[in-house]
Structure 1
């Protein structure tokens, strides 16, 4: 399936990977782009203008994926505006920065929030959009993380939530077949505001520099590289239930 003439919904789409994916699909000839956001209304509005400057109609709507009512309202808004939804990119996510050895620092509330947003939120979106996706013989791409495969990342709960998303991808691929394909992208380190928010500008720059010494491609991924992977999975008509790692090959040396 190619993006040309398709309508795509990207959750958490105002910044970073979501923004890059929205613009990539617009440049590829999408018929419409819908982005959801929770806090970044200004960024989402800026993205809508950028997409429309490419000649593609776009809609930004606030929707917290932890709230099923808001998710279903997002689906209804997309349907009302464009009459169809062909592509769903589950990109919305959250984390808590808690050092791995600090078990007491990771609260029950942290666990509930990360699992609710990162895993159940993606399920809520797939469930709400399932009728549209089935009718369109569409596709879902979940944005997971290399943290779903290995110990590390911003916190234990974050890694566990992303590991759960890998299994959710496989389960949804079976549940929505044969009409809908479901795959995932698992990025490693990506240059985004998310990372600089966790580590600071200088801190992230140093972490990325040090990491590049062990990355086979000697590069740090940008949001556009994850967007490339999303586009690639959308075009693979006989691939479902799979996850593509985007980390410059670092995982082969872990």
Structure 2
């Protein structure tokens, strides 16, 4: 049950991709704001998800880690059902699970059907599948959904063309869901720019990622790339914003204003 004066105190939340990076930061931010329970959904990062659960429990927040590929409707249905069974409902959903492939923009022949299926399947269809499965519970609680998109949804930048297309689609999915689930449920999204996280280091190597972050920081009005906690702060703000729906917030330190 959510406190009428605090949209997060007492809330039950599901965070997909909750074991690392932005997802982990969101889980901990929700606990810090008094969430009653946080379900850390993950697909591969088992140890990391369990570590986040331990942090949440230490903070006094009930928590579980649930393995669920967001493309798998039966796994998603079980994720939602177990959350309701264990914790009584769902108040907050953060669709953070994401996938990409590193493919140079000029190398069109390198983009395969499998690349499209993976990236669109996780980033768009996955977010839709989880939201649809949780919709009835979110309507009952008059809850909130936040999708994690990307600045790549606005500009021809990022890891690959499929990734940018998927994030543009996430922004439009947010708008469509905001209309479909109104007036009970608010649906918004955030579009981070560069973020300091393990994800990019895993893709291109930490040394290369660190060099890229240093160069990019010089182009950002606020002087640095975002941390996962910076993005989590924006997500929390959207959860708190009772009369905002269908909106995307760019979290890039102002870089999009100049480049």
Question: Normalising to structure 2: TM-score of the pair?
Answer: 0.97
Residue 29 of structure 1 aligns with which residue? 34
- Could you list the per-position Cα deviations for residues 79-106 of structure 1 after superposition, in whole angstroms to 9, with x for gaps in the alignment? 1110110000000010010111010111
| 1:137-152 correspondence to structure 2 within 5 Å | 137-152=142-157
- Structure 1 ranges of 4+ moved more than 2 A: none
C-alpha displacement at 1:197, in angstroms?
Answer: 1.1
Residue 228 of structure 1 aligns with which residue? 233
Residue 71 of structure 1 aligns with which residue? 76
- After the TM superposition, which of the residue ranges 104-113 and 135-144 deviates more from structure 2? 104-113
| 1:92-241 correspondence to structure 2 within 5 Å | 92-241=97-246
Whole-angstrom distance in 1 between the partners of 2:230 and 2:111 = 31
Structure 2, unaligned runs of 5 or more: 1-5
Residue 57 of structure 1 aligns with which residue? 62
C-alpha displacement at 1:235, in angstroms?
Answer: 0.8
Whole-angstrom distance in 1 between the partners of 2:224 and 2:145 = 28
Residue 43 of structure 1 aligns with which residue? 48
- Could you list the per-position Cα deviations for residues 45-70 of structure 1 after superposition, in whole angstroms to 9, with x for gaps in the alignment? 01000000000110101000011110
Whole-angstrom distance in 1 between the partners of 2:13 and 2:117 = 29
- Could you list the per-position Cα deviations for residues 109-158 of structure 1 after superposition, in whole angstroms to 9, with x for gaps in the alignment? 11111111100000001100001000000000000000000001100000
Whole-angstrom distance in 2 between the partners of 1:110 and 1:219 = 31
Question: Normalising to structure 1: TM-score of the pair?
Answer: 0.99
C-alpha displacement at 1:199, in angstroms?
Answer: 2.2
The answer to whether residue 86 in structure 2 is matched with residue 86 in structure 1 is: no
3-state SS of 1:183 partner:
strand
